[in-house]
Amino acid sequence: MTSSCRGVIAAGHPLTAEAGAEMLRRGGNAFDAAIAAVMAAWVTEPVLTGAGGGGFLLAHTAQGEDCLFDFFTQTPQQRQLSPPPDFYPIEANFGDAVQEFHIGLGSVAVPGCVAGIFHIHERLGQLPLGAIAEPAIHYASQGIAVNRFMAYCFELLAPILTANAETQSIYAPRGKLLALNDILKMPALAETLKDLVQQGPALFYEGRSPSRSSTTANPRGLPDRPSPLAVSSD
């Protein structure tokens, strides 16, 4: 007996990979799978990636075209902001070393991920975006179990994840940082993803959704949104 293989997915969490695999089972292409996995990772690998991040995608299309999509984060348009944005150090203890990181509004660049995946879907996607977002929405609303690696990351980054009430409500909802086998839920992200599917990426950068760069960063000189760049080469 022989079986066909429509693709292989590598990811940092089994549920991230499952989101991509589901798109292939539904008849989607590699780009549908990649977008689904990226969105899912915002829930399943939240301290490593997120809607507020950026990235690159190197694509080889069915027509033989090679494209590099650059949707990395953008830096502020102004070097000096007034008043200065909140920007302060925290220490992450890695056991054999302690490393200093800076957090606060001053550490934030303009996100590229949302604009990037919408652009890639428009160019190369096959399935409806609503279907592609379904796994991430399900994970965010229903919750996922914290695995050993996630729990380790949460401990390392505890000063960041508990820095304000908003992050505490996600990562320490009962006053204590989530640990192994606890359930991580992101209901606000689930609702945001639903809204993005219906209204498009402008909502994230200009509308009422959670990107506070719309209301706090832009008046201080940040660009409104990144412009995803697709570079084609032979």
pTM here is 0.86
The pLDDT profile of the chain, 234 residues, written as one tens digit per residue, is 455 667 889 999 999 999 999 999 999 999 999 999 999 999 999 999 999 999 999 999 989 999 999 999 988 676 677 788 889 999 988 888 999 999 988 888 889 999 999 999 999 999 999 999 999 999 999 999 999 999 999 999 999 999 999 999 999 999 999 999 999 999 999 999 999 999 999 999 887 644 444 444 443 334 445 555 555 544
Give CA–CA dist 81/84, Å, rounded.
Answer: 5
Question: In 3-state terms, what secondary structure has residue 73?
Answer: coil
Rg of the chain (C-alpha set):
19
Give CA–CA dist 161/95, Å, rounded.
Answer: 18
Reference 205, options 228, 226, 219; nearest CA is: 226
DSSP 56: E
Residue 195's identity, in one-letter code, is D
